[in-house]
Structure 1
Amino acid sequence: MTRFTIAIVGRPNVGKSTLFNRLAGKQLAIVEDTPGVTRDWREAAGQLGPLRFRLIDTAGYEDSYDDSLPARMRQQTERAIEEADLTLMVVDARAGLTPLDETFARLLRKGSRPVVLVANKCEGRAGEPGLLEAYALGLGDPIPFSAQHGIGLSDLYDAIVEHMPEEEPEDEEQPQTEPGLTVTGEDGEEVLDGDLLPDDAPRIIQMAIVGRPNAGKSTLVNRLLGVERMLTGPEAGITRDAIATDWEYEGRPVRLVDTAGMRRKARIDEKLEQLSVQDTLRSIRYAHVVVLMLDAELGMDKQDLTIARMVEEEGRALVIAFNKWDAVADKETALADLRDRLETSLSQVKGVPVVTLSALKGRNLDRLMAAVFQVYDTWNRRISTAQLNRWLAGLLEMHPPPLVAGRRLKLRYMTQIKTRPPTFAIWASRPEELPGSYQRYLVNGLRQDFDMPGVPVRVYLRKGRNPYAGKKK
């Protein structure tokens, strides 16, 4: 049974995202004292006392009906209202009612869904006049509330429970969390949501889509989902929050994360854009596979390489999507230039998959998902200790470590200590003296001989224990 859904709506800058974060119990939505911060609607699991529900945060409602961005945001909000079982309309009690509040209230009164009116910012006496004005909206008694301070939660609880089914069945599924949040495993180590599943359950692949503004990230998400879930348009920088959506492709569960476009740090001067970039970085940090979207008409520039290096440093698997491929005249030259740039500037993830596609027309999306699953499986690969030591012996015989101070360095033993990304430990006689060039030789050999393209490979050197150390002569 579908979980009871609550949509939070209202005009811009009344505190919807603050209320969303309060009910979600986490700082998920970007909150800033600027109208129109939220644009796409965001989902999360909400909780108020024993109540459990699905929560939707929406963009500020604008009375616009053309092809502009505010009009498209309004359409998204109306879709969320249609999907919700209950609507929380939030008004700003300190600012009082506005014509836009009255317009929105008329729309909600015509609908069939129940509505609860929340008069936010009622801490202190400054909100009393606005609270009294809110009765004129015809949506019942307003709840005096403060999303920032948590005042009025008991009244909100009573209003919600009145509209919820009497017996809400327990949800046996794994709780859905936003990207960047962790849970604690049995050994006390923090792990990604989706990693604590039964052995026979398919793991949820966290797939973050990143890139510069206007590269087509939201268009790609909409094409994969088959619905207009994300706001798109010719305007650069529409997406501000990292929006996670659960999806399934050929029986494999995927959590798609659409992120804000990342410009060069020197060009970012607004606090809101800084918060958006931080949200994107958090999405990279907790993704499994990161799809870097490039505009094929613009090629790969320094900022794209910076993002790719961030992905590698975080140890995530990487796929490069060359979007707007249908608009490229000389395809052979464009692809050759991209591969040459990757070879020279991103050697630490040699063999990264490159997929040419058109997100707008839906071309080659199956090839993209095939590359995502392949690189995800590689990222999770485990190699037996016996295989590794046979490989190490052959490598040392073919190309032994260099002499240091007239003495040969000895690499004695090797094992894989973790996956995601593949990480190996080698015990050596004097690990601190092994040249960096030889360490890179080991990494490249591992990637080539065990077929691990496109994922970071980590090799750590450890000093073997001397059995005679500390013993008396």
Structure 2
Amino acid sequence: MRSADDDRSSGRDGPRVAIVGRPNVGKSTLFNRLVGRRRAIVDDTPGVTRDVREAPAQLGDLAFTLLDTAGWETAGGEALEARMRRFTERAIDTAEVVLFLIDARAGVLPLDEAFAGWLRKRAGKVILVANKCEGRAGQQGLAEAHGLGLGEPIPFSAEHGEGLSDLHEALARYIEPMPEEEDDEFEDGEGAEGPSEAELAKRPLLLAIVGRPNVGKSTLVNRLVGEERVLTGPEAGITRDAIRVEWQWKGRQVRLVDTAGMRRRSRIEAKLEAASVADTLDTIRLADVCVVVLDAANMAEKQDLAVAGWVIEEGRALVIAVNKTDLLADDRSAASKAWRKLRDRLEASFAQVKDVPIVGISALNGRGVDRLMPAVFETYAIWNKRVPTPKLNRWLREMETLHPPPLANGRRIRLRFMTQIKIRPPTFILSVSQPEELGDDYLRFLINRLRDDFGLPGVPIRVTMRKPKNPYASRARKR
């Protein structure tokens, strides 16, 4: 089972292995089985997977990059199914090994035969996998698979994990086993406290692109990487899985994650859409920086603020990207009013996170996109900022003098000590003589001054109050 940290950084990518087949044969179930956790959304509805999803996988001593693809169909032109097919075919062209799945229970269908004929001409290393072979239900389909001309089929059950040893044997013909000394990067050096800050700095920055449906998230990802890496189109809700794209920006490793659009919970009815939203929320929890994409025509709708609120609640660094700003170019008065409304709503909704960076862009024509990544890395640096304890306590004494804490039962509340215990986001502990009496207003004052005086704009700041221990309490108990 892979951990969350494995998602953020994997030292072993290895050969590319693509899982292909017609819709609803169990490709995503096999993908999740080999990756070791639920990474792709699985549903009985055909055509759930639309993009090509990648993840590091391991089977015994074989390590490789696994690709989950959309169901192959014979559609042509510019229909969504045709665009999905082109992405699948491109994944096949870049893969060293292809796992061709059929549904043994359903038997070999004409679409299987058509795809097999296409694979014989285009792909070199194809492993035929007859999925859903548990019990006797798939025996007929397994026998029919011999006629596809792709060699001996492997009887398999992705749902139950049957046939993994046979699949390992087939993959071992094309993939070299890992040397024994290549153990997990943090297996010995990383204790219960997790990786050190130096180790975290070497990992890719995990940048999640989130927002409502059809605001241009996938178009922005393609614009940033400079090629068509994720599926786009006029249809709302094309992206269903969170799609990771490895990228470099000015020599810095970045893992871009394109996510499904998030509608209001009251409008989420289908189980499939609920799974997509849950996948997006998981991505936000793991991200370093989240870019919330808004539509310039409808800035700061209630759902936009809800998405930004989830990012802040999870303690992630936040950048706002207002897409389609070219639509505002003709009416400067309307544009100025829209920008002012956006800033006012952000300030009113998120008083605890002031001065969130806002970048106007057009993902379609590239206008303003060059300003987005500098804002991302600047916010990321602030999110990782640490304030020295001596400096912090000199500041605390100054705050106590300039704006004394309130009285509680006729006694002055004392601010004893303050220290930063965490970064990502900046997290502080404040030792207070009577924490329950300090009040939210004074704590908010301290956080706002902390943000202004130490240069922490646009990121969540967390302050936990603690009451100092009484050094004489143990003596009193002994008496």
**TM-score bracket, shorter-length normalisation:** over 0.9
> One-letter code of the match for 1:379?
W
CA contact (8 A) 1:64 1:71 kept: yes
1:412 to 404, 411, 416: 416
2:103 to 92, 96, 112: 92
CA contact (8 A) 1:388 1:415 kept: yes
Q: Secondary structure at the match of 2:130?
A: strand
Check 1:173–1:245 CA distance in 2 against 1; reply closer, same or farther (3 A cut).
Answer: farther
Aligned-residue offset at 1:203: 3.4
Aligned-residue offset at 1:187: 3.3
Partner residue, 1:378: 382
- Equivalent runs, 1:427-446 vs 2, <5 Å: 427-446=431-450
Aligned counterparts of 1:216 and 1:341: Cα–Cα separation in 2: 22
Partner residue, 2:298: 298
> One-letter code of the match for 1:463?
K
> One-letter code of the match for 1:346?
F
Partner residue, 1:220: 220
> One-letter code of the match for 2:419?
T
TM-score, scaled relative to structure 1:
0.93
Q: Secondary structure at the match of 1:297?
A: helix
- Equivalent runs, 1:194-213 vs 2, <5 Å: 198=199, 202-213=202-213
Q: Secondary structure at the match of 1:66?
A: coil
Which sections of structure 2, spanning at least 5 residues, go unmatched? Answer: 1-11
1:31 to 21, 30, 42: 42
Aligned-residue offset at 1:410: 0.7
Aligned-residue offset at 1:170: 8.4
Check 1:319–1:331 CA distance in 2 against 1; reply closer, same or farther (3 A cut).
Answer: same
Partner residue, 2:23: 12
1:339 paired with 2:350, answer: no
Aligned counterparts of 1:313 and 1:173: Cα–Cα separation in 2: 35
Partner residue, 2:371: 367
1:462 paired with 2:473, answer: no
Partner residue, 1:187: 191
CA contact (8 A) 1:197 1:203 kept: no
Structure with greater proportional helix content: 2
Check 1:223–1:268 CA distance in 2 against 1; reply closer, same or farther (3 A cut).
Answer: same
Partner residue, 1:161: 172
Q: RMSD across aligned C-alpha pairs, in angstroms? A: 2.1
> One-letter code of the match for 2:157?
S
Check 1:309–1:171 CA distance in 2 against 1; reply closer, same or farther (3 A cut).
Answer: farther
Q: Secondary structure at the match of 2:22?
A: coil
CA contact (8 A) 2:53 2:69 kept: yes
Aligned-residue offset at 1:300: 1.0
2:89 to 74, 78, 91: 78
> One-letter code of the match for 1:113?
G
Partner residue, 1:179: none
Partner residue, 1:261: 261
CA contact (8 A) 1:185 1:196 kept: no
Aligned counterparts of 1:159 and 1:349: Cα–Cα separation in 2: 54
Q: Secondary structure at the match of 2:475?
A: coil
Check 1:374–1:196 CA distance in 2 against 1; reply closer, same or farther (3 A cut).
Answer: closer
Aligned counterparts of 2:449 and 2:187: Cα–Cα separation in 1: 35
1:104 paired with 2:108, answer: no
- Equivalent runs, 1:122-161 vs 2, <5 Å: 122-161=133-172
Aligned-residue offset at 1:163: 2.4
Aligned counterparts of 2:174 and 2:183: Cα–Cα separation in 1: 23
Partner residue, 1:118: 129
Partner residue, 1:282: 282
CA contact (8 A) 2:92 2:123 kept: no
Check 1:302–1:2 CA distance in 2 against 1; reply closer, same or farther (3 A cut).
Answer: closer
Aligned-residue offset at 1:108: 0.2
Aligned-residue offset at 1:174: 8.0
Partner residue, 2:307: 307
Aligned-residue offset at 1:440: 0.6
Q: Secondary structure at the match of 1:18?
A: helix
Check 1:52–1:135 CA distance in 2 against 1; reply closer, same or farther (3 A cut).
Answer: same
- Equivalent runs, 1:239-254 vs 2, <5 Å: 239-254=239-254
> One-letter code of the match for 2:466?
R
Partner residue, 1:471: 475
Q: Secondary structure at the match of 1:60?
A: coil
Deviation string 1:356-392 (CA, Å, 9 cap, x unpaired) is 0011112222211001000000000000111111111
Aligned counterparts of 1:196 and 1:78: Cα–Cα separation in 2: 41
How many residues were matched structurally?
462
Which sections of structure 1, spanning at least 5 residues, go unmatched? Answer: 176-181
CA contact (8 A) 2:99 2:127 kept: yes
Identity %: 59
CA contact (8 A) 1:211 1:292 kept: yes
Q: Secondary structure at the match of 1:424?
A: strand
Partner residue, 1:237: 237
Check 1:173–1:63 CA distance in 2 against 1; reply closer, same or farther (3 A cut).
Answer: farther
- Higher alpha-carbon deviation: 396-405 or 462-471: 462-471
Partner residue, 2:4: none
Aligned-residue offset at 1:25: 1.5
